[in-house]
Structure 1
């Protein structure tokens, strides 16, 4: 296995774990602040927008072949 392949696999696995951990942090923040259903939904939408933007950027770069 070359360094490039290992780096790509490690990045995919660790980035997925980081996104999952960030989701746990948002859920914990909503729980500790007693945000309720609407507040929890708002937290996930607003704080998750950065993750969605990152995923969209990655997909667009791959599609465009840059």
Structure 2
């Protein structure tokens, strides 16, 4: 136990908040990339659409886990 937390609790915290923070950082990076490359409206939309699919998959994982834990 580290700081009164088990290894599973630390891993769960890192997975939820760590990956969530990484997704927000990727939003910044992709937005900056689209701005610097002058991707245009459609190009920027496509770039963010790709990231949005990953974010939806990340959120769906927790929704699926929640539904399966109820049963």
Band of TM-score, shorter chain:
0.7 to 0.9
Residue number in structure 1 paired with 2:42: 38
Deviation at 1:57, TM superposition (A): 2.6
Q: Return the offset for 1:30.
A: 0.6
Of structures 1 and 2, the larger Rg is shown by: 2
Greater RCO structure (CA 8 Å; 6+ sep): 1
> Taking structure 1 as the reference length, what is the TM-score of the superposition?
0.74
Name stretches of at least 5 consecutive residues in structure 1 with no aligned partner. Answer: none
* Consecutive unaligned residues in structure 2, runs of 5 or more: none
Which TM-score applies when normalising by structure 2?
0.70
The total of aligned residue pairs comes to 66
